[in-house]
């Protein structure tokens, strides 16, 4: 692999690492590490470790982060993955979540922005640790990647998120001085991806480093105005060069004296078990100029649900439903008042939990509801083990045999929700969205291992 690496890149690394350079080069003879993050919204670390048969070892960055110590084929198709019990995450990318933990602010309600969020590794990792009255706005510029972000947020059941698809400049205009914490996991030249995804090697050039740094500086120039006085800004990349890391931060701090550096950490594959990351935390001064949001204009007019049809549907599905519910157009949402306040002032493509959709004369529950109704007790549930034939059949889109009574059934695997089925005409009709019917796709996609690209 070393012979494929660009000369200019190797020269930069030699200059950066000095005596450590040889050890760094040696790391290219080892395979890339794969990691997973247990979703503590779904289960405890202990329970997952008991259930899963994989050889896992702690990353020692966050308590729920693990390195997969064996080759597990098609892990993205495993029912635990589909049920959002874990997220595939490169081990060093978890250091951003660890940095958030070190700020010691997770014990209070927070407004968080993840400005470059897809496919959702940091948004879901931080989102799962936030209190239920906190909100995370996950923004992604590229629409196709924003869709991937939404499916990960839905799969993991991160209920307090709002997803936007905006330029950073537009985000800053909607949310001046609004957030306690802003994450900028910036697009970069990806030097820390070479071992995991060798195609990135061919996209690298000195010019790419320079243009990435320009984009990073531009993104930070918008990110800074979203931070409240006294709030935090975390900048990260998965590249090694100083231009995009310390260089971008020095340039930012030189022109923004209202921010101070709290910490700056580097992860290299020869010093840590991970592919490589740079993470920097900064704090905006309490005395920084406060730009209160213009009297926020409600772009989206969410209204509290008053009609009984929605609550009747919820009590047909749950024995103890008591969430706040809102309606926007034909869509019914479960959400906290704080989330609705944020979602109403920005054009968004996903908010809270879309629980039901008005169809002509009835409300149809959604897949999202069954993936995200944490804590509520279902009236009807069919739970299977991971190797069950019936489960495999459900996941590939087939109907299930009729059950005793009741219309809506949660289908789960060892308690992890996969979707739902609706009983009518003597059958349990499969309501799994077509794009999630995995075993059918698995046959088509033999070579394309899902979820290997998650960050």
Ligand X SMILES: C[S@@+](CC[C@H](N)C(=O)[O-])C[C@H]1O[C@@H](n2cnc3c(N)ncnc32)[C@H](O)[C@@H]1O
User: Would you please indicate which residues are annotated as catalytic (active-site) residues?
Assistant: 238
Rounded to the nearest angstrom, the gap between the alpha carbon of residue 38 and the centroid of all alpha carbons in its chain is 13
Nearest to 375 by CA among 41, 47, 29: 41
Q: How far is CA 351 from the centre of its chain?
A: 14
- Tell me if 208 sits within 8 A of 151, measured CB to CB: no
* Residue whose CB is less far from ligand X, 83 or 190: 190
> Minimal distance in Å, beta carbon 242 to ligand X?
18
In angstroms, what is the minimal distance from the CB of 122 to ligand X?
4
Nearer to ligand X, 193 or 418 (CB): 193
Q: In the bound complex, what is the minimum distance in angstroms from residue 156's beta carbon to ligand X?
A: 12
Cβ contact 24:268 at 8 Å: yes
Q: How far apart are CA 356 and CA 358, in angstroms?
A: 7
Q: How far is the CB of 145 from ligand X (least distance, A)?
A: 5
Residue with smaller CB distance to ligand X, 117 or 354: 117
Report which of 53, 51, 84, 54 is spatially closest to residue 67, judged by C-alpha positions: 54
Q: Among all chains, which residue has been given the structure tokens 């660009």? A: 6
Distance CA 132, CA 130 (A): 6
Task: Kindly report the backbone phi and psi dihedral angles of residue 312, in degrees, each rounded to the nearest multiple of 5, phi listed first.
Answer: -65, -40
Residue 188 vs 363, nearer CB to ligand X: 188
Q: 400: Cβ–Cβ under 8 A, 6 or more apart, which residues? A: 382, 390, 393, 394, 411, 421, 427, 428, 430
Decide whether 122 or 335 has the Cβ nearer to ligand X. 122
Q: Please give the helix or strand (H or E) that residue 314 lies within, else none.
A: helix 308-317
CB of 337 to ligand X, least distance (A): 28
Beta carbon nearer to ligand X, 139 or 366: 139
Q: Are strands 179-185 and 161-164 parallel, antiparallel or unpaired?
A: unpaired
**Token digits for 31?**
């395979």
Q: How many CA atoms lie within 13 A of 336 on its CB side?
A: 17
DSSP 186: -
Nearer to ligand X, 89 or 412 (CB): 89
**What is the closest distance, in whole angstroms, from the C-beta atom of residue 386 to ligand X in the complex?**
26
Q: Closest distance between ligand X and the C-beta of residue 119, in Å? A: 5
C-alpha distances (whole Å) from 34 to each of 37, 66, 99, 396, 422 are: 11, 9, 20, 27, 37
- Contacting positions for ligand X (CB under 6 A): 93, 116-122, 140-142, 145, 168, 185, 187, 215, 219, 455
Helix (H) or strand (E) holding 382: strand 381-384
Contact 137, 338 (CB under 8 A): no
Tell me the residue number closest to ligand X, measured at CB. Answer: 121
Is residue 223 within 8 Å of residue 249, measured between CB atoms? no
Smallest separation, CB 201 to ligand X (Å): 17
Looking at the Cβ atoms of 278 and 384, the one nearer to ligand X is 278
Q: Which two tokens stand for residue 248?
A: 């971008």
């Amino acid at each position: 692999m070393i012979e494929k690496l660009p000369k200019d890149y190797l020269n930069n690394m030699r200059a950066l690492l000095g005596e450590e350079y040889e050890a760094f080069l040696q790391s290219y003879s080892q395979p890339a590490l794969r990691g997973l993050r247990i979703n503590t919204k779904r289960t405890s670390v202990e329970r997952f470790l008991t259930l899963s048969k994989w050889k896992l070892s702690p990353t020692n960055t966050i308590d729920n982060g693990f390195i997969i110590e064996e080759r597990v084929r098609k892990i993205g198709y495993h029912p635990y993955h589909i049920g959002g019990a874990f997220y595939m995450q490169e081990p060093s990318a978890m250091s951003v979540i660890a940095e958030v933990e070190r700020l010691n602010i997770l014990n209070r309600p927070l407004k968080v922005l993840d400005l470059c969020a897809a496919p959702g590794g940091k948004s879901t990792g931080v989102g799962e640790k936030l209190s239920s009255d906190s909100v995370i706005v996950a923004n992604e510029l590229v629409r196709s990647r924003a869709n991937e972000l939404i499916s990960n947020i839905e799969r993991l059941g991160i209920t307090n998120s709002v997803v936007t698809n905006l330029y950073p400049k537009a985000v800053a205009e909607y949310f001046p001085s609004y957030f306690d914490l802003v994450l900028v996991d910036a697009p970069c030249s990806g030097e820390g991806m070479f071992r995991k995804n060798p195609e990135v090697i061919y996209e690298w050039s000195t010019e790419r480093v320079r243009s990435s740094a320009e984009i990073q500086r531009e993104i930070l120039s918008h990110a800074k105005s979203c931070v409240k006085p006294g709030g935090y800004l975390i900048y990260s990349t998965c590249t090694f060069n100083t231009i995009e890391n310390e260089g971008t931060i020095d340039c930012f701090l030189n022109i923004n004296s209202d921010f101070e550096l709290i910490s700056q950490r580097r992860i290299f594959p020869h010093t840590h078990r991970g592919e490589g990351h740079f993470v920097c935390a900064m704090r905006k001064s309490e005395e920084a100029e406060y730009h209160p949001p213009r009297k926020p204009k409600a772009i989206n007019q969410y209204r509290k649900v008053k009609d009984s049809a929605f609550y009747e549907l919820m009590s047909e599905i749950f024995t103890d439903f008591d969430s706040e519910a809102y309606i926007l157009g034909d869509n019914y949402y479960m959400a906290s008042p704080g989330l609705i306040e944020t979602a109403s002032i920005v054009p968004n493509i996903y908010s809270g939990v879309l629980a039901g959709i008005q169809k002509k004369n009835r409300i149809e529950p959604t897949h999202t509801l069954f993936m995200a109704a944490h804590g509520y007790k279902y009236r009807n549930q069919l739970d299977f083990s991971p190797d069950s034939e019936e489960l495999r059949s459900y996941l590939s889109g087939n109907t299930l045999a009729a059950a005793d009574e009741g219309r809506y059934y949660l289908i789960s695997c060892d308690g992890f929700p996969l979707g739902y089925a609706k009983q009518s005409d003597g059958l349990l009709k499969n309501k799994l969205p077509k794009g999630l019917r995995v075993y059918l796709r698995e046959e088509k996609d033999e070579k394309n291992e899902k979820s290997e690209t998650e960050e």
